[in-house]
Amino acid sequence: MQLSKNFSLAELTKSQTAERMGLDNNPSEGEVENLRLLCERVLQPVRDHFNKVVTISSGYRSDILSRKIGSSSKSQHCLGMAADFEIFGVPNNEVSDWIKENLMFDQLILEFWKPGEPNSGWCHCSYNPEINANRKEYLMAIKNSESLKTEYKPITGLSTDRYAK
């Protein structure tokens, strides 16, 4: 089933962990609709703008899959509202800055990107279909070197303003 011109339900629900563990990772009708809107409003415009393949590393996750990989069952991935992705050959901070400036989204996280390492990390973006529910929250996820816990820090402006290329 196609969700948009370049994105299918199969690629937004594929999970090697679910396959390996025999877990059901099939979304409900409402979650499929959320994935369709995520594709139409975020992923397809990114694909069209950069004219390159957008590689999805994580899209929809069932509650049980989310718990098995150590994520929260409250994650927007479990609602079909979020995807983690990158475009090989395009720095992830440039992708996330373009999204921030051009698209409506709920949460945009530049995850584990390191200045000077353009292909480090990935982009996480969510889209909330509820009217006026998209917060346009732009964050950077980093690993605290002492506690080894993930911390989320707001990005004000653009990441390219914050870090020299």
Supply the pLDDT for residue 115: 87
Whether 43 has a pLDDT exceeding 50, the answer reads: yes
- With a cut of 70, say whether residue 148 has pLDDT above it: yes
Condensed to tens digits (0 to 9), the pLDDT of residues 50-93 reads 999 999 999 999 999 999 998 888 899 999 999 999 999 999 99
Separation CA 165–CA 150 (nearest Å): 24
Handedness of CA 54, 45, 133, 3 (dihedral sign): negative
User: Would you state the CATH architecture of domain 2-162?
Assistant: 2-Layer Sandwich (3.30)
pLDDT digits (tens, 9 = 90+) for 86-136: 999 999 999 999 999 999 999 999 999 998 887 899 999 999 999 999 999
**Going by C-beta distance under 8 Å and a sequence separation of 6 or more, which residues neighbour residue 55?**
85, 86, 87, 88
Distances (CA, A) of 78 to 16, 59, 63, 162: 16, 9, 6, 32
